[in-house]
Amino acid sequence: MSFSFSGLHLFCKYMVEKYGSLQGVSEERIAEDFRSIYLKRLPVNLKTLRAVCASCGIELTGLDKMPGNIRGYHEVYGDKINLYFRNGDTSSGIQNTILHEMREIIETLVAEANPDYAPLRTLARHIAANKFASAVLLPEDHFRGKVYQTGLDVIALAKMYSKSHSQVLLRMGEVLQGRLFCYAALYEPDPGDVTRWKASYITVSHNEEDPEANFQGVDGFFPRKGRTVLTGSLAEMAIRNRKAHLVQQISVLDDMTDEGLTAIARPLIDPTTGTIKVAQVILLARDAHLLSPQVERAKPVMVEHFHRHI
């Protein structure tokens, strides 16, 4: 069965014909189908996404004021679809909003095309839409190659792709999942007290091919989202000194069986205001060589050893 893809409704009918429903279909797969039909080899930018919306029958509108504290929303009335984004948002933010809302619309239209499909509920739909947007904007294989090429450098990747540091960090965790143990965090000033810094985003990936190539440490060793940066930590050193810092060996156990970890914290510096973000990446010591491109570029201050803290 073949379809014309001049409307998003028809794309969703095609997805139902191909998969039956979206149950068990990964966001990577949905994004791949979307890219192959609507984007092909086109660059993923705001101009292209505007054209995609037009071809999908979506009326795209920027608003100066948005309800609540949201970046976008959509309305579906039969065959008519309206999608709204916040004027003044960054280009990458608008791109993400468009794709996020499109994925939520897809969920609704697939359920209409297949009444037996139970669509995702609000939170699950929101999470799926975020993953879909990132998978479209940062294609898995290409992005993973750049992750290794840059030495897992969140700041360099954000600049390379013109995407937010948070989106790049979270996507890095997704494309490394199953391949490598990696903990990464983004630290930013607390909006309520700019003298305090917190972990605003974190991601963790594990090596599923070699279960022993993962970190099994004490509970609470890695900072969780919202955790305040502690004095003397690697992130605090990067904030205070406005320089990248690398700790070559982090031991957790008290005996000699501890393989250890290695970590790099790299600040993003604004010439006027100083340090505005810090991206930190932690790997097993055996994988320290993967950081080499970032180390060569950032020229971090070397810290020889940490014990039971980061």
Minimum mean pLDDT among 28-42, 81-95, 135-149, 244-258: which range? 244-258
On the question of pLDDT at 3 being above 90, the answer is: no
Pairwise CA distance, residues 249 & 82, whole Å: 53
CB contact at 8 A, 34 and 56: no
On the question of pLDDT at 275 being above 90, the answer is: no
Give the per-residue pLDDT at 2.
Answer: 40
Pairwise CA distance, residues 58 & 299, whole Å: 47
Domain parsing of the chain, residue ranges: 8-137, 149-307
Taken in order 49, 54, 57, 59, the sign of the CA dihedral is: positive
Kindly report, residue by residue over 209-261, the tens digit of the pLDDT: 998 899 877 677 899 999 999 999 999 999 999 999 999 999 987 776 668 99
Q: What are the strands of the beta sheet with 245-251, ordered from one edge? A: 193-207, 179-190, 274-284, 261-270, 245-251, 301-307
On the question of pLDDT at 79 being above 90, the answer is: no
Torsion angle defined by CA atoms of residues 134, 135, 141 and 143, in that order, rounded to the nearest 10 degrees: -10
Q: How confident is the model at residue 1 (pLDDT cuts 50, 70, 90)?
A: very low
Pairwise CA distance, residues 23 & 139, whole Å: 22
Minimum mean pLDDT among 131-135, 159-163, 257-261: which range? 257-261
**Matching CATH number, 8-137, of 2.60.120, 2.60.40, 1.10.3470, 1.10.10:** 1.10.10
Taken in order 63, 132, 24, 17, the sign of the CA dihedral is: positive
Place domain 149-307 in its CATH homologous superfamily: irre protein (3.30.450.130)
State the pairing for strand pair 301-307/274-284: unpaired
DSSP string, 172-183: HHHHHTBEEEEE
φ, ψ dihedrals at 189, nearest 5°: -60, 145
Whole-model pTM: value is: 0.91
Q: What is the mean pLDDT of the chain?
A: 92
